């Protein structure tokens, strides 16, 4: 088994002569660098007593999952579905939609959550779509999307750019460029606790931007401590505050995801460590993490964790773990079935798209096309009704495109 860094180095090395692949490799390297830098501080945090092996959980093997729909990248190595976020219903069919980036093509696509059909596509500068952030009511009461391009040039200098786009069409409402070379504005995006503002990180600093106009409210803010820059996952311990999840840096070789309480004795400190989930071997457990709401009806929010290096069915077939936020126990495990499928590189909650009472999630994987190249596949799957199940996500080998 190999670390994520080993996989990226090997993948890029084999394709050094492929121009499009080289461009994607450069963007992947930037992505790994940003993630590793942002997570570096947490490597010193103690593991605590609550340590569970999610991959070793005893779950019942059952029939293959129901895949609602899948859509594949137009070409190999194009960064399809680098970032994926759910957005409210835009086409009036009652189902939420998905916004996703195609990083090497500098594009963002809006797709129907019900069937994956393409609703719109808009483009921007270099690295457009590196980060995405949904802004409900961000465009005169309509849904808008913040798009980051930290490698964008302005006046011949790489300073980064953040822009706000109305959905579904993608009309640009405003854009904000970095102030200096190497600024990398848009390295991360997070809606501020106060409505109407977004906190945007750049190289070594952050700024608070007004969503209505794109102007700075505050600049040169210090970067947040690691625990405040973690992923809010809802209230899992019942204290009335959002709790946070964080995974090990990809560069560390560790495979864990930790959950901390949002309740802290002082505002400058993290809350208590609630759970630590540990992967199995080098399965890249924690590569992706997302809140999924209360799936088991215990009153606490749950979470999903991707492990794209899981070898249970085949080398690097991947897996997605659905975990109880309250007890930390596994609810479901979805496993890839093909070698180098890397199921779980991206995970997230879409919602109940057909009102049957069961949640749909989106996941990414990779399939070999007829030239032997790997193409990204974005799939929407329905979670089982019964708890404690383990299912294989079966894939055909022939990429398709909606």
> Which range (66-75, 151-160, 242-251, 348-357) has the least confidence?
242-251
Top-confidence residue, 58 or 229: 229
Please report which confidence band the pLDDT of residue 279 belongs to, taking 50, 70 and 90 as the band edges: confident
Alpha carbon separation from 185 to 134, 234, 312 (Å, rounded): 18, 28, 40
- Residue 36: the pLDDT is 40
Pairing of strands 188-191, 197-202: antiparallel
Confidence of residue 98 (pLDDT cuts 50, 70, 90): very high
- What the block records as the tokens of 169 is 């069409």
Answer whether residue 43 shows pLDDT above 50: no
pLDDT at 389: 52
- pLDDT band, very low/low/confident/very high, at 42 (cuts 50, 70, 90): very low
Work out whether the CA dihedral 171, 174, 179, 185 comes out positive or negative: negative
pLDDT at 157: 80
DSSP labels for 195-230? TTEEEEEETTEEEEEETTT--EEEEEEPPPPGGGGS
Residue 27 scores a pLDDT above 60: no
For 105, the 3-state DSSP assignment is: helix
| pLDDT-based confidence at residue 272 (cuts at 50, 70, 90) | confident
The tokens for 92 are 């009036």
Phi, psi of 77 (to 5 degrees): 60, 25
CA gyration radius for the chain? 20
Lowest mean pLDDT among 2-11, 275-284, 378-387: 2-11
**pLDDT band for position 181 (50/70/90)?**
confident
Residue with tokens 């786009």: 165
Q: Is the pLDDT of residue 139 over 70?
A: no
Quote the percentage of the chain above a pLDDT of 70: 73
pLDDT at 400 over 50: no
Judged against a pLDDT cut of 90, whether residue 149 lies above it is answered with yes
For the entire predicted model, the pTM comes to 0.80
The percentage of the chain sitting over the pLDDT mark of 90, rounded to a whole number, equals 35
Question: The tokens of 261 are what?
Answer: 């309480």
Going by pLDDT thresholds of 50, 70 and 90, the confidence category of residue 203 is confident
Tell me the pLDDT tens digit for each residue of 291-324.
Answer: 988 888 888 889 999 999 999 999 999 999 999 9
Q: Are 34 and 326 contacting, i.e. CB atoms less than 8 angstroms apart? A: no
More confident residue, 40 or 335: 335
Q: At residue 214, does pLDDT exceed 70?
A: yes
- Taking the C-alpha atoms of 383, 285, 344 and 50 in order, what is their torsion angle to the nearest 10 degrees? 20
């Amino acid at each position: 088994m190999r670390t994520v860094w080993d996989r990226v180095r090997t993948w890029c090395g084999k394709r050094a002569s492929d121009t499009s692949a080289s461009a994607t490799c450069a963007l992947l390297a930037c992505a790994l660098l940003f993630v590793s830098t942002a997570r570096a501080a947490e490597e010193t945090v103690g593991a605590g007593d609550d340590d569970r092996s999610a991959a070793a959980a005893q779950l019942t093997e059952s029939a293959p999952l129901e895949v609602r729909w899948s859509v594949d990248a137009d070409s190999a190595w194009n960064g399809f579905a680098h970032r994926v976020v759910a957005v409210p219903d835009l086409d009036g069919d009652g189902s939420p939609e998905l916004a996703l980036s195609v990083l090497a093509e500098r594009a963002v696509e809006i797709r129907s959550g019900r069937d994956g059909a393409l609703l719109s596509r808009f483009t921007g500068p270099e690295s457009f779509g590196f980060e995405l952030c949904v802004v409900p009511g961000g465009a005169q009461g309509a849904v808008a999307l913040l798009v980051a391009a930290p490698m964008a040039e302005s006046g011949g200098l790489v300073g980064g750019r953040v822009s706000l786009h109305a959905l579904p069409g993608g009309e640009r409402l405003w854009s904000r460029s970095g102030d200096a070379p190497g600024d990398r504005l848009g390295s991360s995006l997070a809606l501020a606790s106060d409505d109407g503002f977004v906190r945007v990180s750049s190289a070594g600093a952050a700024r608070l931007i007004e969503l209505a106009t794109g102007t700075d409210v505050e600049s040169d803010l210090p970067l947040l401590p690691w625990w405040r820059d973690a992923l809010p996952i809802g209230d899992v311990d019942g204290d009335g505050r959002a709790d946070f999840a964080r995974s090990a840096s990809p560069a560390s070789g560790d495979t864990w995801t930790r959950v901390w309480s949002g309740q802290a004795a002082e505002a400058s400190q993290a809350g208590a460590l609630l759970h630590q989930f540990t992967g199995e071997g080098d399965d890249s457990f924690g590569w992706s993490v997302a809140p999924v709401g209360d799936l088991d009806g215990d009153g606490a929010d749950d979470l999903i964790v991707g492990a794209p290096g899981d070898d249970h069915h085949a080398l690097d077939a991947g897996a997605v773990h659905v975990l109880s936020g309250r007890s930390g126990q596994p609810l479901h495990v979805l496993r890839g079935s093909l070698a180098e499928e890397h199921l779980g590189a991206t995970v997230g909650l879409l919602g109940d798209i057909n009102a049957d009472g069961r949640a749909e999630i989106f996941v990414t994987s990779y399939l070999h096309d007829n030239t032997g190249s790997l193409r990204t596949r974005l799939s929407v799957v329905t979670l089982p009704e019964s708890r404690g199940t383990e299912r294989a996500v079966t894939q055909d080998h022939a990429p398709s495109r909606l």
